[in-house]
Each structure stands twice: as C-alpha cells, then as structure tokens.
C-alpha cells in the first residue's frame, strides 16, 4: 500500500505546484505523532476514525477497503471473519500495534488473550508462516499483495465474508492526514484531489498497484 500511496500523493502535490517532495521513513506508530508535531507535513492514507481526527486533519477519502486475513495455505482453522476467531478459543490473531483491526476484532468478540500484537508487519507475517498465530489481520488489498509476493504455497489471503444478514455497508475509508494547523495545504490538496478521484488517469495509475473500482468507488461516492 505504500507505493500506491506515494504515487497518489506525488501526483496531487505536483498538480498543486509542489516541486520538491521529501519522504520521511517512519513506523506506523510514528505517523500520527509525527505529522501532529510538525516533523513532516502529511501522512500516507490511514483509516479514518473519530479518535484519530482529534489529532490530525484528514483529506477527503481516497479508498474504501475491507479487512482480511493472511493465513497458512488452506486456512486450516477456517478463519473468514473476526467472529470466526471469537468462536474458536484456540485461534490466535496477529495485529500491528495501533491499527484499527485491533478495535474491530475486540468489537466482534475476539478476546484480548487471543490477540498477539506486533510492531512490524514482517514480524506478524513471520508469525503466520511459523504457526505462532493462525491469522494476521490487515486490509484485504494489502494482504493480496503480500500473498502474491510470498507465494500461495506458503501463505493465503482471505477476504472477510460479508455480514451474516447480507446488508450493504460502506467499507472503512482511508485518507491522507495533515497537521491540523496546516489548513492551506489541506485545502489545496483536497480541492485537486476531489476533481482527480475517479478520473481515467487516477484509475489507470491505481490499477498498476492492484487497486480496482472495488476500492476506489466507495471513496468517490463519499467525495461526490
């Protein structure tokens, strides 16, 4: 997801006249504090939550993505939703510290003792491969990319099944985040982003990284 985020950010920044972009490597846990304290100007897209909105200012949404799991081939414990983990006390779920998947799992009834928290994605993936955890929760799209890179013989991406009642819902939305005091940059970025989202150029650029209408259209609908 990092590559596609950088591509979209650079495209919009260039269109609003930014000629020099400096990229600042950071861990997931450093993103919100870093932009809030002014160490850098904006973050790659994160899931939008009310709690995060108290710390940073979000752009308009740029994608809507459901969660999914990475599991060992064949999905031995048939883990297809957070609820399926809650129903199996022997199941262990890996999650990256600070990510929204932790709250989603708890809300679905997964007990805290079933959750193993990791600081880095690589450690969580290694835990799936070694059997330390039965599943690693992240975005369905990100998991597809990881599984494609590692290979289906070693790991499998499982998109979460729909709610039992089949009711339609808007998937969780992601957006760039900015320092709350940097209103001019946010306003200029949003103005251009609104007109660019869903355009043929946008869809073509995102398709190179695996984003399809399934991920783009929820954001376009919210923005429109």
* Alpha carbons 30 and 179: distance in angstroms, whole number: 14
One domain for residues 42 and 78 = no
Q: What is the predicted pLDDT for the residue at 29? A: 87
- The CA radius of gyration of the chain, in Å to the nearest whole number, is 18
Query: Does residue 166 belong to any structural domain of this protein?
Result: no
Token duo for residue 206: 């995102």
DSSP 105-139: HHHTT--GGGEEEESSHHHHHHHHHHTSSSEEEEE
Q: What is the predicted pLDDT for the residue at 184? A: 97
One domain for residues 38 and 81 = no
Query: Does residue 167 belong to any structural domain of this protein?
Result: no
What's the domain range around 120? 67-159
Query: Does residue 168 belong to any structural domain of this protein?
Result: no
Q: What is the predicted pLDDT for the residue at 166? A: 54
Q: What is the predicted pLDDT for the residue at 163? A: 56
One domain for residues 151 and 87 = yes
One domain for residues 75 and 46 = no
One domain for residues 73 and 57 = no
Residue ranges in the chain modelled with pLDDT below 50: none
Token duo for residue 71: 């599991």
One domain for residues 52 and 6 = yes
Which positions ≥6 away from 126 have C-beta within 8 Å? Answer: none
What domain count does the chain have?
Answer: 2
Instruction: Quote the Cα angle for 44-71-128, to 5°.
Output: 80
Q: What is the pLDDT of residues 167-187, one digit of tens each?
A: 556 789 999 999 999 999 999
Query: Does residue 132 belong to any structural domain of this protein?
Result: yes
CATH number where 189 lies: 3.40.190.10
One domain for residues 154 and 186 = no
Half-sphere exposure in the Cβ direction for 80 (13 Å, CA): 6
Closest C-alpha to 47, from 175, 154, 169, 159: 175
Q: What is the predicted pLDDT for the residue at 224? A: 67
One domain for residues 139 and 87 = yes
Residue with tokens 């369905």, as numbered in its chain: 140
Beta carbons of 4 and 21 less than 8 angstroms apart: no
Q: What is the predicted pLDDT for the residue at 170? A: 76
Q: What is the predicted pLDDT for the residue at 161? A: 74
* Alpha carbons 223 and 207: distance in angstroms, whole number: 20
Note the pTM of the prediction, 2 decimals: 0.79
Which positions ≥6 away from 123 have C-beta within 8 Å? Answer: none
Beta carbons of 81 and 160 less than 8 angstroms apart: yes
One domain for residues 155 and 134 = yes
* Alpha carbons 21 and 25: distance in angstroms, whole number: 13
């Amino acid at each position: 997801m990092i590559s596609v985020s950088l591509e979209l950010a650079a495209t919009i920044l260039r269109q609003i006249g930014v000629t020099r972009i400096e990229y600042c490597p950071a861990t997931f846990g450093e993103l919100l504090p870093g932009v809030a304290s002014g160490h850098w100007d904006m973050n790659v897209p994160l899931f939008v939550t009310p709690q995060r909105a108290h710390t940073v200012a979000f752009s308009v949404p740029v994608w809507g993505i459901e969660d999914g799991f990475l599991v060992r081939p064949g999905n031995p414990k048939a883990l297809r939703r957070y609820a399926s983990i809650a129903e199996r006390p022997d199941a262990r779920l890996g999650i990256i510290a600070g990510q929204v998947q932790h709250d989603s799992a708890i809300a679905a009834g997964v007990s805290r003792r079933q959750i193993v928290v990791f600081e880095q994605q690589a450690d969580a993936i290694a835990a799936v491969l070694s059997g330390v955890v039965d599943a690693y929760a992240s975005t369905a799209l990100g998991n597809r990319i990881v599984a494609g890179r590692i290979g289906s013989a070693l790991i499998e991406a499982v998109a979460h099944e729909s709610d039992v009642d089949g009711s339609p819902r808007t998937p969780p939305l992601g957006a760039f985040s900015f320092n709350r005091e940097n209103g001019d940059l946010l306003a200029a970025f949003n103005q251009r982003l609104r007109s660019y989202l869903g355009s043929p150029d946008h869809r073509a650029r995102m398709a190179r990284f695996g984003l399809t209408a399934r991920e783009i259209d929820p954001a376009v609908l919210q923005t429109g």
